[in-house]
Chain A
Amino acid sequence: MLSLERVEVTIAGARILRGVSLVVPEGGRVALVGRNGAGKTTTFRAIMGLVPIATGSMRFSGVDLVALPAHRRTALGIGYAPEDRRLFPSFTVEENVRLPAEVLGLRGREIRDRLARVWDLLPELAELRDRRAGALSGGQGKMAALARALVTGTRLLLLDEPFQGLAPALARRYGEILARLVARERGLALLVSESNPELLAPFVDQVITIERGEIAAPRA
Chain B
Amino acid sequence: MQLLLLAVLDGLAYAAQLFMVAVGLTLVFGVLKILNVAHGSLFAIGAYTASTLVGLIGTPDLSLIALALAALAVGAVAGPLIERGLLARIYDKEHVLQLLVTFALFMILEDVQKLLWGVKPLFEDAPVRLLGPIVVGDIYYTAYQLVLMPSVAAASLLILVWFLRRTLLGRTILAVTHDREAAQAIGIDARRVYLLAFTIGAGLAALGGALAAPTTSLVPGIGVQMIVLSFAVVATAGLGQIEGAAVTALLIGLGRSFAVYFAPELEVVVPYLLMVAVLLVRPEGLFGRSELRRI
Contacts and interface: CB of A to CB of B under 8 A. Distances in A.
B248 interface: no
A75 B184 CA distance: 12
Given A102-B168, A103-B172, A134-B292, A88 B182 contact: yes
Interface in B169-205: 171-172, 174-175, 178-179, 181-190
B52 to A, nearest CB: 40
A50 B185 contact: yes
A148 B186 contact: yes
Interface string A54-75: 0000000000000001111111
Interface stretch (A18-26, A27-35, A89-97, A183-191): A89-97
Contacts of A82: 182, 185
B293 interface: yes
Nearest to B295: A90
A88 B178 contact: yes
A50 B184 contact: yes
Classify chain B's interface size: 10 to 19
Given A91-B174, A99-B171, A70 B182 contact: no
Nearest to B181: A50
A80 B182 CA distance: 9
| Centre residue among B171, B172, B185, B189 by max chain A CB count within 10 A | B185
| Centre residue among B172, B183, B187, B188 by max chain A CB count within 10 A | B187
B174 A88 contact: yes
Interface residues of A, number: 27
Nearest to A49: B184
B293 to A, nearest CB: 4
Contacts of B183: 88
Given A86-B182, A88-B178, A88-B182, A134 B187 contact: no
A152 B175 contact: no
A71 to B, nearest CB: 5
A48 interface: yes
Contacts of A199: none
B161 to A, nearest CB: 12
A69 B185 CA distance: 10
Contact of A71 (B171, B174, B189): B189
8 contacts: A48-B184, A71-B184, A82-B182, A86-B181, A88-B183, A90-B178, A90-B292, A134-B293
Interface of A: 48-50, 69-75, 80, 82, 86-91, 95, 99-100, 102-104, 134, 148, 152
Interface of B: 168, 171-172, 174-175, 178-179, 181-190, 292-293
Given A71-B189, A99-B175, 19 more contacts: A50-B181, A69-B189, A71-B187, A71-B188, A72-B187, A74-B185, A75-B187, A88-B174, A88-B179, A89-B178, A89-B293, A90-B292, A90-B293, A99-B171, A99-B172, A100-B187, A103-B172, A134-B292, A134-B293
